[in-house]
A = this chain, B = another copy of it.
Amino acid sequence: MPREVGVPVHGLSETVVGVLGGGQLGRMMCQAASQMAIKVIVLDPAENCPASALCHYHMVGSYNDSATVEEFAKRCGVLTVEIEHVDAATLEKLEKQGVDCHPNASTIRIIQINDRASAKRAGELFGYPLMIKSRRLAYDGRGNAVARSEEDLPGAVKDNFTTNHSDELVSYDDSVSSLGGYDRGLYVEKWAPFVKELAVIVARGRDNSILCYPVVETIHRQDVSLWQNICHIVKAPANVPGKIMKLATEVACKAVSSLEGAGVFAIELFLTADGQILLNEVAPRPHNSGHQTIESCFTSQFEQHLRAVVGLPLGDPSLKTPAAMMYNILGEDEGEPGFLIAHQLVGRALRTPGATVHWYDKPEMRKQRKMGHITIVGNSMGVVEARVRSMLNEEITDDQHSGQLPILCLITYSLPSA
């Protein structure tokens, strides 16, 4: 429970923060918490999950198991998430028992789409082709299936999608695929032309104060040469006119206003050629598109999330450096060969001025797995881009890529909720 007024406080807050999930987001939350001496406990099934070494206590167990989550909730003053694919019913039950959940159970409920009727309704509403995503497994375009017509829906959703672990998919398929059934949680997106993908991290305090981080630009690529997987780059601030910045911020704020609870929310948006802003996805938690805030903003998204959920005042979300870019370190190969490739990139990053390397300490290297990220800051986007280019150039031998940053290939937009 949030601290009562007048009760002595030995650090910045005595509220123990419980996090469902102990991946890299939980890990970076723990890092922010350690600075403020706030205690974070984590529920994650993997014994050596990234957050395990840094949290105050790690309960080894599933955040999808109702009894485990209830047991976990007893140990914390406020319950939050690093993944939104948790059981909304369990959170609803806990809230009835008086457990303080941020984001609220209602928010988790809103962003999940679970039955065929809602998928069909989305098809009727948005038309085909539809991109159907696995809520539990999708990121960076993986865990997706395309339904080109209503008849495709059952096939795209059927229960035989190959996974090897909780957060990874073995195969990426951009044609009709299948996603493990509605019980795994799905949502749909409509194919839409766009010129840029933008994102805004919005923070809401327990006092309902709202602060927005600067609009950023997110860039995906499918590399046909050396890199087989999808890289992810974030540029802060986005290179768009002030008018678009304002509109994107408004759309993001509006999206958050329909959701309940304190914390940070990541709002992914599309900018269309005619200057429209379309809502893509909402994540009620810190997000990959906000990692660069650690180095580039006065208050990182992780510190902000903690401030919000324990009831401290929100911090200043503005940029303290004129420009920043975030580059995900994705697994290029399995095992040792993968580690060696990553290590080469890390070695160049360590020699790049303005670059900071984050390594998530995941026990295993796998293809496409997010193993860490690099943030590069500088006095202008030109300087930052030149630094990133120099850091990457040694590995981009393909003529298609030399001298330019990876470019987005294919993204879709989704319906906000069913």
Residues of A within 8 A of B (CB): 8-12, 27, 30-31, 34-37, 53-54, 56, 295, 298-299, 303, 307, 312-313, 315-316, 318, 320-321, 336, 339-340, 343, 346-347, 350-351, 353-361, 365, 372, 377
Contacts and interface: CB of A to CB of B under 8 A. Distances in A.
Number of copies of this protein chain within its complex:
2
A361 to B, nearest CB: 4
Contacts of A36: 357-359
A359 B35 contact: yes
27 contacts: A9-B343, A10-B339, A11-B359, A12-B346, A12-B350, A12-B359, A30-B34, A31-B31, A31-B35, A34-B34, A35-B357, A36-B357, A36-B358, A36-B359, A37-B372, A54-B54, A298-B354, A298-B356, A299-B356, A303-B356, A312-B350, A313-B347, A313-B350, A313-B351, A318-B353, A320-B354, A321-B321
Given A34-B53, A312-B350, 11 more contacts: A8-B340, A9-B339, A10-B339, A12-B357, A31-B31, A31-B34, A31-B35, A36-B358, A36-B359, A37-B372, A315-B350
A300 to B, nearest CB: 9
Given A56-B53, A307-B350, A350-B307, A361 B316 contact: no
A296 to B, nearest CB: 9
Nearest to A348: B313
Nearest to A300: B356
A353 B211 CA distance: 13
A37 B353 CA distance: 20
Contacts of A30: 34
A317 B365 CA distance: 31
A325 to B, nearest CB: 14
A393 to B, nearest CB: 18
A228 B30 CA distance: 35
A340 B5 CA distance: 12
Contacts of A9: 339-340, 343
Contacts of A312: 350
A320 B377 contact: yes
Given A54-B54, A298-B353, A350-B315, A358 B35 contact: yes
A227 B204 CA distance: 36
Contacts of A8: 336, 339-340, 343
Given A12-B350, A56-B53, A359 B321 contact: no
A25 to B, nearest CB: 14
Nearest to A312: B350
Given A11-B359, A12-B350, A350-B315, A298 B35 contact: no
